[in-house]
Amino acid sequence: MLQSAIYSDGQRYHFVYSERGTENKHNVTDNLFEITYWVISSITDTLAIRYMRTHILPNQSQRKIIFDKKLSLLSIVGENYKKAGEIEISEILKTSPL
């Protein structure tokens, strides 16, 4: 089971992502936008994957559908979230092209 937790230690914000009791990611920031982006990004990832599973056609790239849907969802939240998503996806594509 996937789980995430968000908390503040009084100085910084923490975003912890775990699966089956094993911590996979523990990001720390003092930036409110960054912590909200991490949370919203996690939610939009899940929604984009669900969307891809029900809308993919033969010979379509799963990742392209996911990335496009994620950016569409982030743009609903705000343009600054979409821009952060574009940067994140650009970094992913540098090491793992479509």
Closest listed residue to residue 43, CA positions, set 85, 79, 96: 85
Answer whether 28's CB lies under 8 Å from 38's CB. Answer: no
Average pLDDT score over residue span 73-98: 95
Question: What is the count of structural domains for the chain?
Answer: 1
Length of the chain: 98
pLDDT at 94: 92
Where does the pLDDT of residue 98 fall: very low under 50, low under 70, confident under 90, or very high at 90 and above? confident
Where does the pLDDT of residue 19 fall: very low under 50, low under 70, confident under 90, or very high at 90 and above? confident
Range of the domain at 38: 2-95
Where does the pLDDT of residue 1 fall: very low under 50, low under 70, confident under 90, or very high at 90 and above? low
